[in-house]
Amino acid sequence: MSEDAKPETVRRFDELIDRAALYQELAKENYDRVRRIAEGIRAGFCAYLASKDGICVRLVPPAGPFQPRDYGDEAFSIPPRGFRHIGPIAFGLAVRVTHGTDWLRMMVVCVKQGEHFEVSIADGPSAEFDLPFNEADHQEFYKLLFDHVLSWLDDRIELYKNGDYGSKRTIGFDFSDEKALGDGLHPPAGLVNPFHPGLSDHPIERSPFVDGPKDENQTS
């Protein structure tokens, strides 16, 4: 900046910097809140399923290849550091569906609505959440998750029995041990902004999934 810059010019830039700093503070607050909700859902749903042979729910990236492990910040659709945007945040909720290492992932999106957060399952139901998170308050949501997974499995079973499983394409599910190209069950692999209103109608981009290795931390 030149030495003869006018004071009002300096003030305008300082105002811009201050406003961006507030924006980032609120973006961090939004991320921290969503992460607390996501971690509460993970722990609560795992307890609801009552697995007797280790961890049965994990937070994973909402799209692309995944493995049944702890991803930390990488499980969410926005970076935990750097310049972040204020907006809905997506994460993947992986559920173990065998006694082995087979995991089924759902994509979940959190949107702030007033003082509440609306938590929506891709291609499924939604519910309101408050903070602080109280596991006992959300048994109904865990049942929604459970019924949603069962419904999808039952639907695919019936489609197979009727010889019509290739004609129905849904978004929101995929397995950690997929070896072939996707069959339309997973969100777009190139997901950048999963919060577009037309997400459920987004064309499917097929991509291979990695094998799900044995979970190295099978503890409750």
Q: Measured between alpha carbons, how far is 26 from 177 in angstroms, rounded to an integer?
A: 38
Q: What integer pLDDT is reported at residue 163 of this predicted model?
A: 77
pLDDT digits 0-9 by tens, 42-74 = 999 999 999 999 999 999 999 888 898 889 999
21: left (phi over 0), alpha (psi -120 to 50) or beta: alpha
Closest CA to 92 of 72, 106, 79: 106
pLDDT digits 0-9 by tens, 113-145 = 988 899 999 878 888 887 777 766 788 899 999
Show me where the domains of the chain are located: 7-201
Residue 53 CB contacts under 8 Å (≥ 6 apart), including other chains:
99, 218
Residue linked to tokens 């971690």: 39
Q: Measured between alpha carbons, how far is 57 from 131 in angstroms, rounded to an integer?
A: 21
Which stretches of the chain are DSSP H helices? 7-49, 139-161
Structural contact between residues 38 and 91, judged by C-beta atoms closer than 8 angstroms: yes
Q: What integer pLDDT is reported at residue 87 of this predicted model?
A: 93
Neighbours of 64 (CB within 10 A): 17
Q: What integer pLDDT is reported at residue 83 of this predicted model?
A: 86
Q: What integer pLDDT is reported at residue 205 of this predicted model?
A: 28
Q: Measured between alpha carbons, how far is 120 from 134 in angstroms, rounded to an integer?
A: 18
10-residue averages of pLDDT along the chain (220 residues): 60 92 93 92 94 93 89 89 89 93 92 91 84 75 92 87 65 51 36 38 29 41
Q: What integer pLDDT is reported at residue 168 of this predicted model?
A: 53
Positive or negative torsion for Cα 124, 32, 139, 150: positive
User: pTM value?
Assistant: 0.72
